[in-house]
A and B are shown apart, each in its own frame.
Chain A
Amino acid sequence: MKDAKVIELEEVAIRFSGDSGDGMQLTGTLFSDTSALFGNDISTFPDYPSEIRAPQGTVGGVSGFQVQFGKKKITTPGDLAHVLVAMNPAALKANAAFLNPAASIIFDVDSFNEKNFEKAQFKTNDPFTELKLDDYALIPVPITSMTKESLKDLELDNKSILRCKNMFALGLICWMFDRPLDYIEGFIQSKFGKKSPIVAEANLAVLHAGYNYGMNLQHMTPQYIVHPAPIEKGIYRNINGNNATAWGFIAAAEKAGLELFIGSYPITPATDILQALAERKDLGVKSFQAEDEIAGICTTIGAAFAGDLAVTSTSGPGFALKSEALGLSVMAELPIVVVNVQRGGPSTGLPTKTEQSDLLQTLYGRNGESPVVVLAASTPSDCFYFAFLSAKIALERMVPVVLLTDGFLGNGSEPWRVPSMSELPSITPRKAKNPETFLPYNRDPETFAREWAIPGMEGFEHRIGGLEKNNAGGVNQDPENHHKNSMIRAEKVEKVADMIPELEVSGEPEGDLLVIGWGGTYGHMISSVKAMQDAGKKVSLAHFNYIKPLPKNTAEVFSKFKKIVVCELNLGQFASYLRDKLPEFQYHQVNKMKGLPFSVHELVENFEKLLEA
């Protein structure tokens, strides 16, 4: 055991870990919010099992939440944790591989007993030796018994008492990192205060007990100082990717002067988008929980036909079910946005784990020539802007847009400087104006976007459908007409390149290695590329948010580097798309299929190998 000391750090990653019923997600979230309010930059990573309550004490049932915070810009939740809170032996086992060599391990010594060693399938009664963690700073804390002790005067049943254990751990960690408790206290009061004052009292008592335990036993636990980060001025809030996505749509509807409709079906990890929008009846959001994924997109298409900004949210398996209807919106040329919060596949796959393996499904997974615009958000907070932009493109170009996020972005959170609405660009829906000349498939000669006439508009009555059509919307299956329309639909999507920015390079515009990433891996990509740059390497990053169409200058950017490597959480889908679009370049690949984000360490290692080769 190490002696007490005060350690000043640039950045710290903490991993809270316990049974899926132990309240680790809440503990992690409260600590993250507290740190963000304290002025640190943060990045979070909830990592939980797909079972709601897997068998207690087993490794399969471990739920974790990692947060990294620091006095500088934080772009990832951290590869390895500096501090692990392990509520039981299974939590220790599940996380041993994710610890810094000098990490502190705070564990509930009360739960480290033979029965739990067995449940976690340890072979011996010494889990630390078995996991080769002897040299780590082991901090045994009697969390369960202290929790019981501090609640002995309250009339609470044993189950309710044990439910407060997480607050003890939280209090202790707050002391270690010198965090004020007022935010957490406020949360507990507002959550339980009215419904169940005794539960509020219990949680508060245990929170303080944990904090005081740290203070009283300074000789055992180190204390850390992490100063606030110097960031942009403004009003900040913590936001996760799913909430940011939902809010981006509300902002777009307000900007466009339209009502917002979401038709959707619950699916992990996208459900929060539907929930966040269902909550916003105050802003007039119409939320429709459909009977299935297909009805989710079909009600959305119906609402778009009727003149709303219409969106639907889903994840991989649901996106597969939506394919046919997405094709209808391509053919009918209705402005809808589909968000796919990607998760591990195929089939049910890894519902709670992150992956980028729906890219090819999104680009090509429909019958016929069925082009859609594809965007990808890259941080939890920029989901807001890309949701907004998806809506803008859909409404101004009368084209379906798919926004790709992923479980890592959707559930991960970071502090976000909130914009004012005046910072956001205008959105001008293509409402039809002249009934004399109107035909549903007359097009703007520049953009090929058609006009939008919605039921209720006098003089614009027309019919559209999924059959190939003429300009009037009538059925037309002439060979020349189908060929021409197929070209137009493809070209219309390509013309969106005119309204998106050029590809930016982080680092020098030329060099030895161009690292390419897309979507949710941005934090890890930029961290690893910066590390290479700091080491004097001629490495730059081009991170894509615009997948289809690609930014106009993509080939030009690529041509300035000796080597190109495409990094993605799949087996090479973006690389294969780039090979198709820009075959003149050679693409190396770094791929990972573990249901986890990249680690900065493994990326750097791969880049170094490529530079040496």
Chain B
Amino acid sequence: MTKFNYTAKDFKSAAEVRWCPGCGDYAIMNAVQKTMADMDIAHKDFAVISGIGCSSRFPYYMNTYGFHTIHGRAAAIASGVKSANPALTVWVMTGDGDSLAIGGNHFIHLVRRNINLNLVLFNNKIYGLTKGQYSPTSDRGKITKTSPFGTIEDSFVPGQLVLGSRGTFFARAVDSNVKHTQEVLADAAKHEGTSVVEVLQNCVIFNDGIHDFVSDPKFRAERQLLLKKGQPMIFGEQEDKGLILVNGKLTVAKIGENGITREDILVHDPTDDNLGLQVALINMALPEFPVAMGVIRSVEGPVYDQEMGKQIATVQAKRKVTCMDELLKSGNTWTVDGENCSEPVKFFDNKCFG
């Protein structure tokens, strides 16, 4: 039973969508709109905030409140929005350049504070809007216009950054797998605190196919580990491989070999505060490992915007000063009423102040 009966279409604005044909952003927008429709929250209570970059045009295409801000600052502006009004449902649409380069500081502090909003990180490992320069998630050696001989720096792994910032929620998805992206976004939306969803997104012009090896649906079963809460971490066309711990290290084991059975395979629990294992899952990379997809971490923690409200309520319950007039007259004051004293003159006695 829903209140609004929204469909994804209800969240589309009249603005013409101007992403390049074939851009991964279309699929992500569809997933987000479907998720929002399912959330059954009124349009008026959504605020979609973005920074600068291709993905950051997002708010213009949404039929909600939206704010397309400045490069790198979406996380900070959204923090202000949510702190000012915790009743709003706040989404941040951002990219690898926006959040991990120029806005890196705001990103980690948003995660650390655990403000209750959803951040979708469009990771295409390139600067698209400025036409093809390497980003903080570009792989070492990547040749771009600003690295004609290859980059000489290592990339961020977004999930590591989130967990290193004491993040309570991190998930990963692939743009082309709309159904899975939507499932992950729905979990993110339910999470109390900052939820970061990294979506591997294809830039069809400047970095086409960068995620193909991982995302190709034909090899999905072999190359991706679709994590599900309470399920063993099994993958492969034949569901014949799984993850086990050997001497504390995550290892791929073949079920049926060396006495390994399904029961030996690790069971995924994103709600367990097990940073070590979750970072190991985030770090898994081909060819040794499949790439982990889905909700990797989802734990509870104090939520900044809620704490702010609670603190104000606690202080107000015992307050001595209830309004400005009382504050002005509180503490060390004295009365001047001598014979040689004049009548007070109001500061705003000029008529133009109304």
What residues make up the interface of A, taking CB atoms closer than 8 Å to B? 33, 36-37, 39, 183, 228, 230-238, 247, 250-251, 254, 259, 261, 263, 280-284, 286, 288, 290-292, 294-295, 298-308, 310, 324-325, 327-328, 332, 382, 385, 389, 392, 417-421, 423-426, 454-467, 474-475, 498-501
Q: Which of A426, A455, A458 makes the CB contact (< 8 A) with B46?
A: A455
Report how many A-B pairs have Cβ atoms within 8 Å.
249
Asked whether, in the complex, the Cβ of B68 is within 8 Å of the Cβ of A456, the reply is no
Interfacial residues of chain B within 47-63, with CB under 8 A of chain A in the complex: 47, 49, 52, 59-60, 62-63
> With A282-B322, A418-B328, A463-B60 as given contacts, are A299 and B350 in contact (CB-CB < 8 Å)?
no
> Which residues from B are CB-within-8-Å of A461?
43-44, 63-65
> With A332-B67, A455-B65 as given contacts, are A302 and B49 in contact (CB-CB < 8 Å)?
yes
> With A291-B105, A295-B109, A464-B68 as given contacts, are A237 and B332 in contact (CB-CB < 8 Å)?
yes
Q: Spot the interface stretch: B148-156, B174-182, B341-349.
A: B341-349
Asked whether, in the complex, the Cβ of A298 is within 8 Å of the Cβ of B69, the reply is yes
Is residue B320 within 8 Å, beta carbon to beta carbon, of the partner chain? Answer: yes
Is residue B73 within 8 Å, beta carbon to beta carbon, of the partner chain? Answer: yes
Q: Which of A292, A382, A418, A458 makes the CB contact (< 8 A) with B42?
A: A458
> Which residues from A are CB-within-8-Å of B85?
306-308, 454-456
Q: What is the bound-complex CA distance between A389 and B352, given in angstroms?
A: 12
Asked whether, in the complex, the Cβ of B73 is within 8 Å of the Cβ of A298, the reply is yes
> With A237-B331, A463-B59 as given contacts, are A281 and B345 in contact (CB-CB < 8 Å)?
no
Q: How many residues of B contact A (CB 8 A)?
A: 73
Q: A234-B336, A295-B105 are in contact. List 7 more A-B contacts (CB 8 A).
A: A232-B343, A235-B334, A238-B332, A283-B322, A301-B69, A455-B45, A501-B352
> With A282-B316, A328-B69, A382-B347 as given contacts, are A302 and B81 in contact (CB-CB < 8 Å)?
yes
Is residue B70 within 8 Å, beta carbon to beta carbon, of the partner chain? Answer: yes
Q: Which of A230, A324, A499 makes the CB contact (< 8 A) with B353?
A: A499
B319 — nearest CB in chain A belongs to which residue?
A282
Is residue B80 within 8 Å, beta carbon to beta carbon, of the partner chain? Answer: yes
> With A461-B43, A461-B65, A475-B60 as given contacts, are A231 and B88 in contact (CB-CB < 8 Å)?
no
Asked whether, in the complex, the Cβ of A233 is within 8 Å of the Cβ of B337, the reply is yes
Asked whether, in the complex, the Cβ of A261 is within 8 Å of the Cβ of B73, the reply is no
Asked whether, in the complex, the Cβ of B344 is within 8 Å of the Cβ of A303, the reply is no
Asked whether, in the complex, the Cβ of B73 is within 8 Å of the Cβ of A303, the reply is no
**Least Cβ–Cβ distance between B300 and chain A, in angstroms:** 23
A33 — nearest CB in chain B belongs to which residue?
B332
Is residue B311 within 8 Å, beta carbon to beta carbon, of the partner chain? Answer: yes
**Least Cβ–Cβ distance between B127 and chain A, in angstroms:** 18
Interfacial residues of chain B within 11-46, with CB under 8 A of chain A in the complex: 13, 15, 42-46
Asked whether, in the complex, the Cβ of A283 is within 8 Å of the Cβ of B327, the reply is yes
A303 — nearest CB in chain B belongs to which residue?
B84
> Which residues from B are CB-within-8-Å of A247?
324, 327-328
> Which residues from A are CB-within-8-Å of B84?
259, 261, 286, 302-303, 306-308, 310
Q: What is the bound-complex CA distance between A78 and B214, given in angstroms?
A: 74
Q: What is the bound-complex CA distance between A299 and B117, given in angstroms?
A: 14
Can you report 23 residue pairs joining A to B where beta carbons are below 8 Å apart? Answer: A39-B334, A39-B338, A233-B344, A235-B334, A247-B327, A282-B316, A283-B324, A288-B308, A295-B105, A299-B80, A299-B83, A300-B80, A302-B67, A302-B76, A332-B67, A417-B344, A454-B85, A461-B63, A463-B13, A463-B62, A466-B69, A475-B60, A501-B352
Q: What is the bound-complex CA distance between A465 and B352, given in angstroms?
A: 33
Q: What is the bound-complex CA distance between A336 and B67, given in angstroms?
A: 16
Q: What is the bound-complex CA distance between A389 and B347, given in angstroms?
A: 11
Is residue B335 within 8 Å, beta carbon to beta carbon, of the partner chain? Answer: yes
Q: Which of A250, A280, A281, A299 makes the CB contact (< 8 A) with B77?
A: A299
> With A37-B334, A459-B44, A466-B69 as given contacts, are A281 and B311 in contact (CB-CB < 8 Å)?
yes
Q: Which of B45, B79, B311, B334 makes the CB contact (< 8 A) with A299?
A: B79
Q: Which of A228, A284, A421, A463 makes the CB contact (< 8 A) with B67?
A: A463
Asked whether, in the complex, the Cβ of A325 is within 8 Å of the Cβ of B70, the reply is yes
**Least Cβ–Cβ distance between B53 and chain A, in angstroms:** 13
Q: What is the bound-complex CA distance between A287 and B105, given in angstroms?
A: 19
> Which residues from B are CB-within-8-Å of A294?
73, 76, 106
Q: What is the bound-complex CA distance between A57 and B109, given in angstroms?
A: 41
Asked whether, in the complex, the Cβ of B105 is within 8 Å of the Cβ of A232, the reply is no
> With A464-B68, A498-B352 as given contacts, are A295 and B319 in contact (CB-CB < 8 Å)?
no
> Which residues from B are CB-within-8-Å of A459?
44
Q: What is the bound-complex CA distance between A464 and B79, given in angstroms?
A: 17
Q: Which of A33, A282, A295, A456 makes the CB contact (< 8 A) with B79?
A: A295
> With A232-B343, A233-B344, A463-B60 as given contacts, are A306 and B332 in contact (CB-CB < 8 Å)?
no
Q: What is the bound-complex CA distance between A294 and B104, given in angstroms?
A: 12
B57 — nearest CB in chain A belongs to which residue?
A475
**Least Cβ–Cβ distance between B93 and chain A, in angstroms:** 12
Q: Which of B45, B59, B335 makes the CB contact (< 8 A) with A234?
A: B335
Asked whether, in the complex, the Cβ of A261 is within 8 Å of the Cβ of B44, the reply is no
Q: What is the bound-complex CA distance between A423 and B344, given in angstroms?
A: 11
> Which residues from A are CB-within-8-Å of B323?
254, 283, 421
Taken residue by residue from 306 to 319, chain B's Cβ proximity to chain A (1 for < 8 Å, 0 otherwise) reads as 00100110011001
> Which residues from B are CB-within-8-Å of A299?
76-77, 79-80, 83
**Least Cβ–Cβ distance between A326 and chain B, in angstroms:** 10
B71 — nearest CB in chain A belongs to which residue?
A324
Asked whether, in the complex, the Cβ of A286 is within 8 Å of the Cβ of B352, the reply is no
> Which residues from A are CB-within-8-Å of B76?
290-291, 294-295, 298-299, 302
Q: What is the bound-complex CA distance between A464 and B68, given in angstroms?
A: 6
> Which residues from A are CB-within-8-Å of B338?
39, 228, 230, 233
> Which residues from B are CB-within-8-Å of A308?
84-85
Q: What is the bound-complex CA distance between A324 and B69, given in angstroms?
A: 11
> With A234-B335, A234-B336 as given contacts, are A464 and B44 in contact (CB-CB < 8 Å)?
no
Is residue B354 within 8 Å, beta carbon to beta carbon, of the partner chain? Answer: yes
A285 — nearest CB in chain B belongs to which residue?
B312
**Least Cβ–Cβ distance between A454 and chain B, in angstroms:** 8
Is residue B263 within 8 Å, beta carbon to beta carbon, of the partner chain? Answer: no
> Which residues from A are CB-within-8-Å of B327?
247, 250, 280, 283
Asked whether, in the complex, the Cβ of A298 is within 8 Å of the Cβ of B106, the reply is yes
What 9 A-B pairs come out closest when comparing CB atoms? A302-B80, A465-B68, A299-B80, A298-B76, A282-B319, A463-B66, A303-B84, A306-B84, A281-B315
